Amino acid sequence: MILLIELIILLMTPILVFHAIRSYSIEFAKIFWMSGLFLGALREFALVYVSGLYSYGEFNITIAGFPLVYLLLWSNLSYVSWQWSNNYLGLDYLKAQTWDHHLALIFGTMILIAFFMESFFSQYQMIQWQLSTSLKLWGGVPVLGPFAYGFTSVFFMMSVKWALRGNSGQTKVSLTLLKMMLSQPLVVLALAGLLFCLNILIILIFQ
């Protein structure tokens, strides 16, 4: 069953890449998913092996100990939430002002996605949260879980917009990809810092 779930999630990637190529360009698709793959690796390393927030179940398709679905999941979900915000607001995030409603919609969409994904993953024991807290949503998933989805996509999309700034939608692959790669460690640091602060706040308020 887990293998089937992995294959279904992985199937998202070529479909979304095809959409990105048709909507933007093949260069943009390369930049977005290559940097997203790098983000996935950094994020999982930081939250699993450094912070110890959770551990994995028995996955079939792995790279260097990381489930491939988790390496691709964050760019895939970020793209979905981004396109949803574009459709709802009638304006592409890349062409909008830096501080606009897109980021709030991306964050909210990822929170909703997390409620489905995390409950699904916990049902099949694809992930085990190690965070010590009495505030849990389902299957051992802490309240912090959905926020990790929202922060990841918001910071990643902010880095995309920053890397493409000044290109007027025309991507210079090598330079833009380098900027994206360099920004992803900062994305992960900001994510880890916010999750730490949020966890402390939850403890102070509810425990």
Confidence of residue 26 (pLDDT cuts 50, 70, 90): very high
Residue the block writes with tokens 């409620």: 115
For the chain, give the longest Cα–Cα distance.
Answer: 51
CA 165 to chain centre: 21
> pLDDT tens-digit profile of 149-205?
999 999 999 999 999 876 654 447 788 889 999 999 999 999 999 998 988 888 777
Among residues 62, 13, 28, which one has the least CA distance to residue 172? 28
Residue 97 has pLDDT above 60, yes or no: yes
> pLDDT tens-digit profile of 2-17?
888 889 889 999 999 9
Rounded mean pLDDT, 117-121 = 85
Helix or strand holding residue 75 (H, E) = helix 68-89
- pLDDT number for residue 43: 95
Residue 156: what are its φ and ψ, rounded to 5°? -65, -45
Distance (Å, whole) CA 78 – CA 37: 12
- pLDDT number for residue 207: 66
Rounded mean pLDDT, 28-45 = 95
Burial of 145 (0-12, 13-18, 19+ CB in 10 A): buried
Residue 81 has pLDDT above 60, yes or no: yes
What residue numbers bound the domain in which 81 lies?
2-206
Rounded mean pLDDT, 60-82 = 93
Residue 134 has pLDDT above 70, yes or no: no
Considering 82-86, 130-134, 165-169, the range whose residues carry the highest mean pLDDT is: 82-86
Among residues 74, 62, 59, 66, which one has the least CA distance to residue 45? 66
Rounded mean pLDDT, 54-60 = 87
| Count of structural domains within the chain | 1
Among residues 106, 95, 99, which one has the least CA distance to residue 156? 106
Rounded mean pLDDT, 119-126 = 83
Inter-CA distances, 66 with 31, 32, 82, 148, 166, Å: 21, 20, 25, 18, 35
Burial of 116 (0-12, 13-18, 19+ CB in 10 A): exposed
* CB within 8 Å of 147: residues ≥ 6 apart: 111, 194, 195, 198
Average pLDDT value for the chain: 88
Distance (Å, whole) CA 28 – CA 149: 23
Q: Which of 81-85, 124-128, 166-170 bottoms out in mean pLDDT, i.e. has the lowest?
A: 166-170
